[in-house]
């Protein structure tokens, strides 16, 4: 997601805001955990708003129709927390026309701030329901719309652009939004096996770019989801002819997705998954700098300092002028050296003072050797004297 990874980036990313993801995105500001809704509840389990009749009494749900039918001018609490509400302005073609998850939909969208300021108008916004291609407020609410329906959606910043806001469209931080939506069209997703290679590459790239946006907003779980969808597209089989150039381009998109997924998994502390992503990227491009760098970081975080240093040295050899790799490698070597010093000190403390012990042993060995030498010399002298005496006695007898 650095300059080389964001060619053709989605328009919501301005050039001035692009930064390198080589360092796993540490330069991006992280959102508070409470601002990241990783797993919204399924719509079929979400609470509905209570409608009221004109006489003020509560409208009771029928046993045969457990989900309340949202009438015109009635607010539906989509998630049951009053932070995402939907009201029908013009009824559609009936509940049977509601689009399901995985459908490609086209909507007319007007985005307002809560004070009525128009932020953006898109006459034919297309996206896949449930893929995270748009803000959560749309992904969740459009599934409850009927074909041709016009609805008003009020959303908290949590399901829109969060604490960071957006550059394009220009939305301030923590802004609640009012969305006017008309559901124009819903079609089946294309068969990936029959999709022309150029369209498959374009589709995978769009999903990857959406993952980049999630990453920059600190929504790392959503980023992983977008990258996973892009990978599925790149890995899908094809029943149409594909040129070697198109194969290489598709592979390049795949490696970028794996690299960016590893960066997101690092942010989530999913080290095993991040290592797996790096290994997969390197299996296609063994000299990929980003994959080597992130693999080195993962190994270091797992305590495998020797392997991490070797991996980072390989990356530095491929790109000697890279200051980020230089800094990370220097920091890691220093940390590894300090750890080894601490371990040696601990071993010395556990085993006592090996220097003094060995000195005493050497002195004792030298003393023992000196004693043995004197004993041997004394014995040899005694044997020699005894031999001479015996010779004298024999000579005297003769």
| DSSP annotation string for 173-209 | TT--EEEEEEEEEEEPPP-GGGS-HHHHHHHHHHHHH
> In the predicted model, is pLDDT for residue 150 greater than 90?
yes
Question: Any idea which of 36-50, 194-208, 228-242, 363-377 has the lowest mean pLDDT?
Answer: 36-50
Assess contact for 177 and 160: CB atoms under 8 A. yes
> In the predicted model, is pLDDT for residue 10 greater than 60?
no
Domain that holds residue 137: 37-189
Residue 25 lies in a domain: no
pLDDT of 354 = 52
- The sign of the dihedral angle between the CA atoms of 157, 163, 169, 175 is positive
Is the domain of 210 the same as that of 154?
A: no
Is the domain of 185 the same as that of 199?
A: no
- Across 160-182, average pLDDT: 94
Residue 12 lies in a domain: no
DSSP state of 320: T
Helix boundaries (H) for 217-268 = 220-235, 244-267
Query: Which domain-ending residue is among 135, 160, 189?
Result: 189
Question: Any idea which of 48-57, 125-134, 262-271 has the lowest mean pLDDT?
Answer: 48-57
The full length of the chain comes to 398
Q: Report how far apart, in Å, the C-alpha atoms of 199 and of each of 140, 190, 225 are.
A: 27, 10, 21
Residue 5 lies in a domain: no
Is the domain of 120 the same as that of 173?
A: yes
Question: Any idea which of 59-73, 349-363, 375-389 has the lowest mean pLDDT?
Answer: 59-73
- DSSP of 28-78: SPPPPGGG--SSPPPGGGS--PPPB-TTSPBPPPBTTB-SPP--BT-EEES
Is the domain of 111 the same as that of 59?
A: yes
Average pLDDT in the chain:
79
- Across 67-74, average pLDDT: 59
Residue 72 lies in a domain: yes
Is the domain of 199 the same as that of 323?
A: yes
Chain CA centroid to CA 95, Å: 38
**How is residue 51 written in tokens?**
């409608």
Band of residue 152 on the pLDDT scale cut at 50, 70, 90: very high
Assess contact for 158 and 135: CB atoms under 8 A. no
Is the domain of 344 the same as that of 229?
A: yes
pLDDT of 336 = 74
**How is residue 252 written in tokens?**
């390049």
Is the domain of 74 the same as that of 171?
A: yes
Residue 28 lies in a domain: no
- The sign of the dihedral angle between the CA atoms of 164, 169, 171, 175 is negative
pLDDT of 81 = 94
Burial group, residue 245, by CB count within 10 angstroms (0-12, 13-18, 19+): exposed
Q: How many domains does the chain have?
A: 3
Band of residue 337 on the pLDDT scale cut at 50, 70, 90: confident
Assess contact for 275 and 298: CB atoms under 8 A. yes
Phi first, then psi: give them for residue 82, nearest 5 degrees: 60, 15
Q: What is the pLDDT of residues 227-281, one digit of tens each?
A: 999 999 999 998 999 999 999 999 999 999 999 999 999 999 999 999 999 999 9
pLDDT of 230 = 96
Question: Any idea which of 24-33, 164-173, 292-301 has the lowest mean pLDDT?
Answer: 24-33
């Amino acid at each position: 997601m650095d300059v080389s990874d964001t060619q053709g980036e989605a328009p919501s990313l301005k050039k001035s805001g692009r930064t390198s993801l080589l360092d796993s995105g540490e330069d991006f500001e992280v959102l508070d955990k409470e601002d990241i809704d990783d797993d919204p509840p399924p719509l079929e389990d979400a609470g509905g708003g209570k409608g009221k009749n004109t006489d003020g009494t509560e409208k009771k749900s029928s046993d045969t129709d457990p989900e309340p039918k949202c009438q015109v001018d009635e607010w539906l609490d989509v998630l049951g927390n009053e932070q995402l509400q939907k009201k029908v302005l013009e009824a559609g073609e009936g509940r049977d026309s509601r689009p399901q998850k995985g459908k490609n939909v086209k909507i007319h969208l007007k985005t307002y701030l809560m004070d009525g300021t128009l932020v953006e108008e898109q006459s034919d916004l297309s996206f896949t329901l449930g893929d995270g291609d748009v803000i959560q407020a749309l992904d969740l609410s459009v599934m409850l719309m009927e074909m041709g329906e016009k609805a008003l959606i009020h959303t908290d910043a949590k399901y829109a652009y969060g604490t960071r806001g957006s550059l394009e469209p220009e939305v301030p931080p923590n802004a609640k939004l009012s969305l006017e939506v008309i559901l124009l069209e819903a079609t089946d997703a294309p068969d990936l096996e029959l999709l022309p290679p150029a369209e498959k590459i374009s589709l995978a790239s769009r999903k990857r770019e959406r993952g980049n946006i999630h990453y920059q907003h600190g929504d790392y779980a959503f980023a992983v989801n977008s990258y996973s969808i892009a990978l599925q597209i790149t890995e899908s089989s094809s029943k149409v002819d594909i040129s070697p150039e198109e194969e290489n381009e598709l592979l390049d998109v795949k490696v970028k997705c794996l690299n960016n997924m590893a960066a997101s998994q690092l942010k989530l502390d999913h080290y095993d998954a991040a290592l797996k992503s790096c290994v997969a990227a390197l299996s296609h491009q063994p000299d990929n700098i980003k994959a080597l760098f992130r693999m080195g970081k993962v190994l270091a975080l797992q305590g495998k300092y020797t392997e991490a240093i070797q991996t980072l040295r390989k990356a530095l050899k491929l790109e000697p002028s890279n200051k980020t790799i230089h800094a990370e490698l220097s920091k890691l070597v220093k940390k590894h050296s300090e750890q080894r010093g601490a371990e040696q000190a601990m071993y010395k403390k556990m085993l006592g003072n090996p220097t003094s012990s060995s000195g005493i042993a050497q002195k004792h060995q030298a003393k023992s050797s000196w004693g043995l030498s004197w004993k041997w010399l004394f014995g040899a002298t005694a044997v020699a004297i005894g031999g001479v005496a015996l010779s004298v006695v024999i000579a005297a007898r003769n």
